[in-house]
Amino acid sequence: MFDEGGALWGAVPELTPGTEVAGFTVEGTIASGSFGTVYRARRSGKPYAVKLVAIHPRGDREAAALRLVRHPNVVTFHGYGLWPEEEPRFLVLALELVEGLTLDAWAARENPSALELVMRVLLPLALTLADVHASGVVHRDLKEANIIVRESDGQPVLVDFGAAGLKEGALRLTMRLPPGTAEYRSPEVLRFAKQWEGEHYPFSPGDDLWALGVVIYGLLTRTLPFGDRNDPGLNRAILEETPPAPHECNPRVPQVLSDVCMGLLEKKLEDRYPDAKALAEDLVEVCTEADSSWRTPMFPRSGHESPPAPAEPGRQFRWRWWAAGGLVLTSALALLLYALHGGTPRTASPSAPATLQDASGQEVVPPARVAEGTPSAAPPPAPVAAATNNEEPTMQQSKTIRTLVAVGCVASAGCVSTPKARPQPPPEECPPGAAEAHKRYGLRLGGIHGAHFGPLREGLRYVPVRDKEEVSAEIIGPWGLFPDWTIFSGRLYSGAERVYGRFTKATLPGGETVPVCLQMMTIGRRPPLGVELEAGSTAARPIIHSSVSVQAVERFE
């Protein structure tokens, strides 16, 4: 069923419009790939992208990666279910649908200038990758098709974490050749495959940065730097050849921007940018040097346009300055970004709500935002995104504070303010009759399902909670014989770094109530019990994500 790289062969069925899947009504196919199929679907009148993948650790890790990375420029994960109900064979990932073009299609339509390309696409992508990597996730299939330029605000959205790798705690699923797309694989991957001795490939953020270099090269030249998979010399070219610099192929490319691209395509990992944050800093610096030639479209629109004057001569990679001392976004950059975006700095969240709700639905006043460089009060809650397909993850939930840059992108630094240490709640017996109810409604001991604080139609958000607060959560799609719209009720307990949840009652849509024994947990974490606090949490007001996983247990741990 799986090849060496973990690809599924014909496992996911073709669903016709009108098919009901885990509470969603399929409307059409968005994309299909090696590891699953993504459909446009609707639930309660709201559009979604739902991805079907065969039940396998790879699907679990895609869900785990998506839950670790919550960012306005990353596909938003709402939860998951199992399908079909009778004999589940597929994991159904519920994602928010994003309308827009793939990056290559957007670039062909818009023909942006160098300045537009950097400010609208490359800088946001670099900052997004910095946050993704800080969360312990490596995308591993970065390419134009997996970057959607969102129609509503023009921001690039990173999708398809099917090939994602998690840096800690995840079982390795592939051996010699890790997942990914041939044209975007780094030299490290190919050298590893050539010298393979049975161990797993030690993937790193450098793989994503190399792939981003390939993407940038294509945007600047409309060609791939090393050829395509039909070329038998592709791997040798990646390992041994240096392509002509973008400004040599396209005289409209400023040489300093060409240097950035070539800096990402150095054959040795240590000769490239050390991380995505350093790349972002270099992109910021080259923009401060932009002259009028940077505002010319990257490619002629007709045969009558003359190319712009050559840009400045080459330079040393500015990331060396970052590595030595650490650059900071200057006030000059802030003013530049301010001007480029119409005079009003905006946050990365295009539709952040004015209020937050606690788990019981009570409206609370959101904490005030703070200036860049100081801990932000709460992470941006706005949902983003669509999906596509692919493999592998490890778990490390970074406690990053997301500081907002005026371009509408997000950088990362800092940490969550630490609440006063509270002990984990003591073990407790399940309510009487819960075991019988589990059997009656087809809940397998240890089975896991998604739930959402507040109606799912309200979308993804962050919810402040209280210790020992009574709460209710809506089921995300049917689970066993529990139908859609079932409500789980219980209590939350705030610990030092986690919030624990114990649900003891299920209320069916018709009003019938039955005892249950469900506890909140985090897929892929060790230990898995509870959910981690979000940025902006305080001792008095812990904040958690509104979408959680619950597990059927025989005793609360």
For 130-150, how does the pLDDT look when each residue is reduced to its tens digit (9 = 90+)?
999 999 999 999 999 999 999
What kind and span of H or E run contains 551? strand 547-552
Domains 20-96 and 428-556 share a fold: no
Which pLDDT does position 223 carry in this prediction? 96
In CATH terms, the fold of domain 20-96 is Phosphorylase Kinase; domain 1 (3.30.200)
pTM of the model: 0.59
pLDDT in tens, 422-471: 678 999 999 999 999 999 999 988 887 778 887 655 555 788 999 999 99
Domain extents for the chain?
A: 20-96, 101-300+309-333+377-396, 428-556
The predicted structure's pLDDT at residue 422: 65
DSSP 429: E
Conformation bin of residue 544: beta by default, left when phi > 0, alpha when psi is -120 to 50: beta
What's the CA gap between 123 and 127, in Å, rounded? Answer: 6
Task: Report pLDDT for 547.
Answer: 76
Instruction: Report strand pairing: 462-464 vs 543-545.
Output: antiparallel
Q: What is the CA radius of gyration of the chain?
A: 24
Q: Cα 527 to the chain's mean position, in Å?
A: 22
Contact 157, 350 (CB under 8 A): no
**Residue-level pLDDT at 197:** 53
The CATH number of 101-300+309-333+377-396, from 2.130.10.10, 1.10.510.10, 1.10.540.10, 2.40.110.10, is 1.10.510.10
CATH code, 428-556: 2.40.128.260
pLDDT beneath 70, residues of the chain: 1-11, 34, 168-178, 196-198, 200, 302-422, 455-460, 477, 523-527
Quote the tokens at residue 286: 């080259």
